[in-house]
Amino acid sequence: MNYKISEGKTYPLGSRVEDGGVNFSLFSKHAERVELLLFDHPDSEPSHVIPLDPKLNKTYHYWHIFVHGIKDKQIYAYRVYGAFQPEKGHRFDGSKVLLDPYSKDVVNTEKFDRNLAKQYGVDNCCQALKSVVVDTRHYDWEGTTHPRIPFASTVIYEMHVGGFTRRENSGVNGKKRGTFAGLVEKIPYLKDLGITAVELLPIHQFDVKDVVKPELENYWGYSTISFFAPHRQYSHNQSLTGPVDEFRDMVKAFHKEGIEVILDVVFNHTAEGDDTGPTFCFKGLDNSIYYLLEDNQAKYKNFSGCGNTFKANQPVARNLIIDSLRYWVSEMHIDGFRFDLASILGRDHLGEPMLITSVLAEMESDPILAGTKLIAEAWDAAGLYQVGEFINHGDWFAEWNGPFRDDVRRFVRGDEKTVKLLAARILSSSDIYTKPDREPNRSIHFVTCHDGFTLADLVSYSKKNNYANGEDNRDGCSNNFSANYGVEGYTNDGHINRLRERQMKNFWVILLLAQGTPMITMGDEVGRSQHGNNNAYCQNNELSWFNWDDVERNKGLLRFVKGLIKLIQSLDVFQQERLLKTEENGGNPYLIWHGTQLYKPDWSDYSHSIAFTLHHPQKGEFLHVMFNAYWECLDFQIPQPPDGKKWFRIIDTSAPPNDDFYELKDAIEINGHTYLVHDRTSVVLIAK
């Protein structure tokens, strides 16, 4: 069959279904010629090779063509020809079949050969990734809309789509385990836990073979292949465009339950790696347009630590990022994004910081992205550390608060010189975020995340144990502020295990009571362990997967966490969109610092304890919180409760399970003017 072709249009980029056929548009400034390839099957030779005539099918640097008679689900790709001059930044290779950078679905992932894609001049057609024409116009969202939950009421759950249901004990049907559809079946668990948003580790199509040790797989997904396509391996529906539909079904299911979906996105680098890496898209389309190159343009700048750096502020690459975000919001109904190594996106074409005029600033002002959650990981792998900059100089961005993680870990461990730092973190880090009248909940608080120890390992290992990654334990962070409390790793010692669980509860209390937006890492609520591996990026196995037996095994910890989340969601003092005052000011909700003695906080380097009173006058809420990170018991004075009220204990992390947390209606009355806080213990009282 010979298709009728016509000139086509430059916009929109990618492929779009129109009346009578499909329009294709591709940018390449330095290409000499381009061929559009059409396929009947993902792993076959092309059924049609359509050369684009530069006189008819090229406008400026855009190559475009309209093919009549084809429609949704057509498989396609490109060959792009030009100079192979790495020293000048050009890596064209007409033997390579290339993805459309705007591809909304990717096929042939099972037969993709990463090594073959590295070999210049070797045809890889049957082993190459291919694009699919996707028509997104007719999906039925059943009236669901973005929940638009304010940061002040948000509890984020960082999770891995595959790892959450991959184990057999998840109870999910075998064919759906590890998929978007499998995740839908676990929404009741997440709803019961009390989370309001899931933050999914990368779901853009990524290269599972981008690893150091060939027999392992890239599990986390920070190895992007396509910025528009959902990861096909996460889809139970393997038909053409099936992953797109299954992903939307998942988002719709979450929205029906009032839960937001945030994507962890990787725009700072791609899976094409360094000068020894494969060519499957950007390198072959126009290498110097899409990547930051060294003075010797055969080499790549590596601010990502992953071999290359995407040239995010080159106009074409910049538009690609914005178009991707718009697509995920408008067509896939995503509620927000966490930007991996976001500081890279603030670097110019030479790699110098330009935060205020970068693509990041454009995101904040884009009308389609208005109302979405934008969360920056405010650093990169080359030492650019910008915690505070995104909030202080922006209007909408939130940030991962790395100092919160480190300072809370150090305080709970019992380090010196940490009490002042803890106090700052509890009050949303006003020493870091100095912008007047900022919303305090743009500070995203976390104690753990995917990158590093799980919470259980944080209190069980003093050193990382990453030997299974095949890099001789060189990978992963070595400064974790962790402790094992007597024995490295697993132990039957009851005293050590009780202390470890108490320390986990202490972390939970600080995380959830501090003013800011808490983020929980998948499985921490049930003590998930990775046996000391703090860089499990390549462990797509039971080491990293959620173990559903832990739900019953550690039901006491789960009960504690669920109760604590429910508590903060029930009190207005924890939903404030303005900074808490540190003294009463015209009836505003406020906080007063104490030490073991009232109104006398000990800010010395050797202090290991702090207390504070929270009061919301308009709502009549009055709480007193005591933290003792010392290794001996301390007697804390407690303030006089408001007239007509008494103190009731709702939390004491030293108490045994079922006595460590009480709902408000069951809280234990406390008499006297002091409370004995046991070693390494947190206590919360409420007046009623």
**Catalytically annotated residues:** 340, 377
Residue showing tokens 């309001």: 196
Tokens of 624: 């007193």
Q: How far apart are CA 195 and CA 214, in angstroms?
A: 37
Tokens of 17: 């279904």
DSSP codes of every residue in 66-133: EEET--TT-EEEEEEE--EEGGGTEE--TTS-B--TT-S-EE-TTT--TTGGGSTT---GGGS-EEE-
Q: How far apart are CA 629 and CA 511, in angstroms?
A: 15
Reading across the β-sheet that carries 106-107, which strands appear in turn? 48-51, 33-39, 75-81, 130-132, 106-107
SS3 558: helix
Establish how many alpha carbons lie within 13 A of residue 538's alpha carbon, considering only the half-sphere containing its beta carbon: 17
Q: How far apart are CA 281 and CA 292, in angstroms?
A: 16
Is residue 255 within 8 A of residue 196, CB to CB? The reply is no
> How far, rounded to the nearest angstrom, does the alpha carbon of residue 637 sit from its chain's CA centroid?
41
Count CB atoms within 10 A of the CB of residue 568.
Answer: 16
Helix (H) or strand (E) holding 399, with range, is: strand 398-400
595: region left, alpha or beta (phi > 0 left; psi from -120 to 50 alpha): beta
Count CB atoms within 10 A of the CB of residue 578.
Answer: 14
State yes or no: cis peptide before 12, omega within 30 of 0.
yes
Is residue 80 within 8 A of residue 92, CB to CB? The reply is yes
- Helix crossing, 494-513 with 402-413: angle to 10°? 140
Cβ partners under 8 Å of residue 143, min gap 6: none
DSSP codes of every residue in 559-578: HHHHHHHHHHHH-GGGS-SS
Q: How far apart are CA 9 and CA 22, in angstroms?
A: 10
Is residue 80 within 8 A of residue 284, CB to CB? The reply is yes
Tokens of 524: 């921490």
**CA torsion through residues 192, 197, 203, 209, sign:** negative
